Amino acid sequence: MTFETLALCAAVGLFGPLLTLPSRLRIPVVIGELCAGIAFGYTGFGVIDPHEQTLSFLAQVGFALVMFVAGSQVPIRDPRLRIGLGVGAARAVAVGLLATAVGWAVAAAFDSPHLGLYAVLMASSSAAVIMPIVESTTMSTPGSMTLLPQIAIADAVCIVALPLVIDPPRAGPAALGSATVLIAAGITFFVLRHFDVSGLRHRVHHLSAQRKLALELRLNLILLFGLAALAVHTHSSVMLAGFCFGLAVAAIGEPRRLAKQLFAITEGFLGPLYFVWLGASLDF
């Protein structure tokens, strides 16, 4: 890993914002970043090596941050979200059934034994790509209120189901790992809520803003990376860790200063780096 590689990834990541300049097209930023990664990765010039360990690790950090920011932007305290939960769950079930039917058709057409794998891949909403796109729109629109639960339910189920269809003997540990991450995120929520009710969170916020210490950012990154480490060690996903922690923060109420800091570190560097790396890893 060199500074030249970092500079290149940051530079080609600018292709995303450049595509958004024509207001009529309304192309999401992540689409441009993915296309830039494809052009400079395996499929294109082969300049960016997605298997480089440091680059791959930084991309995973970006992945966790992208999902954390996306989760923290969910208006979880909005009553309309609870109304849309039933519709979103029904849609997720319908998509799962449709994906199973299409997966069966594909497996039958190509005489493949991987029916389960095809179904899971099609049922997944690809939250790593979808959530930043939804986040860039108005999160409180009626469509978003039903789409967000659908994304969360579909991907939570698919994260657990994917190890089952790829490697059935490891399905148990993967499911246990996902449950462990969910429990840890729930405990984190109750701890943060206790600090909020006791007034400690407000005092830390005031001290951090007064002395410019960025304490909230540091503490939230510690918790995020701790959950991500737990996810890795329990064979779960950093996507689940990041998104669940984001929901926990959103349920309490994210301070505006913290939101701006997280937006800067994610959208300014690590988020685009992840999508460029993801595009570079695709081999068409």
Which CATH fold would you assign to the domain 3-281? Na+/H+ antiporter like fold (1.20.1530)
Q: How far is CA 41 from CA 3, 44, 271, in A?
A: 17, 5, 17
pLDDT tens-digit map of 151-199: 767 766 776 676 667 666 777 787 788 889 999 999 999 999 999 999 9
Read off the tokens for 65. 């941050």
pLDDT tens-digit map of 196-239: 999 998 999 899 889 988 899 999 999 999 999 999 999 888 88
Domain range list for the chain: 3-281
Residue with token string 């208006």: 75
Read off the tokens for 273. 């780096």
Read off the tokens for 237. 């996903």
Residues 6+ apart with CB under 8 A from 89: 149, 150, 153
What is the distance of C-alpha 9 from the center of its chain?
A: 20
Alpha helices (H) in 110-168, listed in sequence order:
115-123, 127-135, 142-166
Give this prediction's pTM: 0.82
Residue with token string 């309304």: 26
